[in-house]
Amino acid sequence: MEPQRQALAPAAPIAVVDVRSARLQVRLAETLGDIEAAQTLRYRVFYEEMGAIPSAEMARHRRDFDDFDGFCDHLLVIDHARGSGPEAVVGTYRLIRRPAAARHGGFYSAAEYDIGAIAASPGEILELGRSCVDPAARNRPTMQLLWRGLAAYVFHYDIALMFGCASLPGTDPDALAAPLSYLHHHHLAPAALRPRALPERYVEMRRLDAAGLDAARALAELPPLIKGYLRLGGFVGDGAVIDRQFNTIDVCVVVKTDLVTDKYYRHYERQARDGGASA
């Protein structure tokens, strides 16, 4: 039996997200084939491009998968100019809400961070993960549509808080001293929401003093995804974690969704006022 085939099933109604822009569309996975296409894209990006270490089973199937995939929603960006097969999926996000985490037995991030403060916060929460885009599609239209799809999902489920592990390339914290220190000094989450790396995995982020840090240069060194979260007012937790399987150093990002939902609500109102379709 192929890995995960019996467990995989989209958890949310497909009408939650459906946004089109020219040849691109963003929607939730509707079929097992959709999810496998997302896993194939994840394998190409994480293992073939970024040097993650696959299990023998992953290498055989050339897909990135784990036991969370059958409990969550998978956001897809589809380029219809590439046809209708798996190759048309050019971007993906894995989305885990509270009910899905409860069915699984916990959130993915809990293997790296104490997220008790987040889990105890009122309202709906959303864990973000496995975000990647095909190298040929890393452009403004694709990224904008991926974020629009995420905003539609957040708006639909009235998500109050988003969080998840975001990665910096490499496993040497000293080589990443500037961006890690910048995040700690300038974007540490409030204590009431602050995740903390588990003691056995904790890597100190405060590697340089704030006074000697070139903040602009350190910000420029951050991956685009983390910079995107910071533009939304995001914070990071206390401590980083080395993920040797994925050849990365992870930080836990926390984003209150006020800016996301406000922007989407304005879009939704404008579309309704103008008589156009909305996501």
Q: What is the pLDDT of residues 104-126, one digit of tens each?
A: 999 999 999 999 999 999 889 99
Q: How many domains does the chain contain in total?
A: 1
In which domain, by residue range, is 164 found? 14-274
Looking at the domain assignment, is residue 9 inside a domain?
no
Q: What is the pLDDT of residues 121-158, one digit of tens each?
A: 988 999 999 999 999 999 999 998 998 999 899 989 99
Looking at the domain assignment, is residue 279 inside a domain?
no
**Contacts (Cβ under 8 Å, ≥6 apart) of 146:** 26, 75, 77, 91, 93, 131, 133
Task: Report the first-to-last Cα separation within the chain, whole angstroms.
Answer: 37
Mean pLDDT of the chain: 89
Q: What is the pLDDT of residues 197-256, one digit of tens each?
A: 999 999 999 999 999 899 999 999 999 999 989 988 999 999 999 999 999 999 999 999
* Residues 163/252, Cβ–Cβ less than 8 Å: yes
Cα 105 off chain centre by: 20
Percent residues over pLDDT 70 in the chain: 87
Q: Rounded CA gap, 200 and 30, in Å? A: 39
Looking at the domain assignment, is residue 1 inside a domain?
no
CATH number at residue 159: 3.40.630.30
Looking at the domain assignment, is residue 183 inside a domain?
yes
Q: Rounded CA gap, 222 and 104, in Å? A: 32
Q: Which amino acid is at 180?
A: L
Beta strands, E only, the chain: 18-21, 24-28, 73-79, 89-97, 113-114, 124-133, 159-169, 196-197, 235-236, 241-243, 248-256
Looking at the domain assignment, is residue 264 inside a domain?
yes
Residue 58 has what pLDDT? Answer: 96
Looking at the domain assignment, is residue 142 inside a domain?
yes
Closest-CA residue to 229 (of 111, 147, 148): 147
Q: Rounded CA gap, 30 and 14, in Å? A: 6
Question: Which helix (DSSP H) or strand (DSSP E) does residue 101 occupy?
Answer: helix 98-104
Looking at the domain assignment, is residue 4 inside a domain?
no
Looking at the domain assignment, is residue 239 inside a domain?
yes
